[in-house]
Amino acid sequence: MGIFSKTCEYGLRAVFFIAQRSQENKRVGIKEIAENIHSPEAFLGKILQNLSRAGIIRSMKGPGGGFYLDASDMSTPLSDVVKAIDGENLFVGCGMGLEFCSEQYPCPLHHEFKSIRNSLSEMLQKTTVGQFNDDLIKGKILLTKSKITPDQDT
């Protein structure tokens, strides 16, 4: 179970994958991204289109085209990716999903959730898209939910 919506999970994994390939001076197509992050291709296409419109990723049509990031895109905070996909609700919303929750009229979880939400927001603002590229390239971290067998964990 994750803290992000399914759409946001796929979006974050796609951005990390594109960043990794971009560091290797490669552009990637939607089919390759979908296969490597275990995402439905049609669903991913809509997510990538949204991320492209928001300026999070870039795309080039034609032979040798695909999705990519340039050097300046690598410093994009992950909070920008989350906002482009899910909006601001993760950073300002109620932990119970109540519309009326506020400082003046708090829900039962308001004060504890506010602290967690603020910590998450700070972490996502400080963490950049390109920050994990070396570990992804070396295979030290993963972008799929695939199960690791003991002999792979070396």
pLDDT tens readout for residues 33-63:
999 999 999 999 999 999 999 999 999 998 8
pLDDT band at 153 (very low <50, low <70, confident <90, very high): very low
Residue 152 in domain: no
The CATH number of the domain holding residue 133 is 1.10.10.10
Which residues, at least 6 apart from 33, have a Cβ–Cβ distance to it below 8 Å? Answer: 14, 17, 18, 39, 44, 48, 67
Residue 149 in domain: no
CA 139, 22, 119, 11 torsion-angle sign = negative
In the chain, how many domains are there? 1
Residue 82 in domain: yes
Q: What pLDDT is recorded for position 106?
A: 94
Range of the domain at 92: 6-138
pLDDT tens per residue, range 99-127: 889 899 999 999 999 999 999 999 999 99
**Coil, strand, or helix at residue 59?**
strand
Residue 128 in domain: yes
Residue 41 in domain: yes
What span, in angstroms and rounded, lies between the C-alpha atoms of 7 and 117? 19
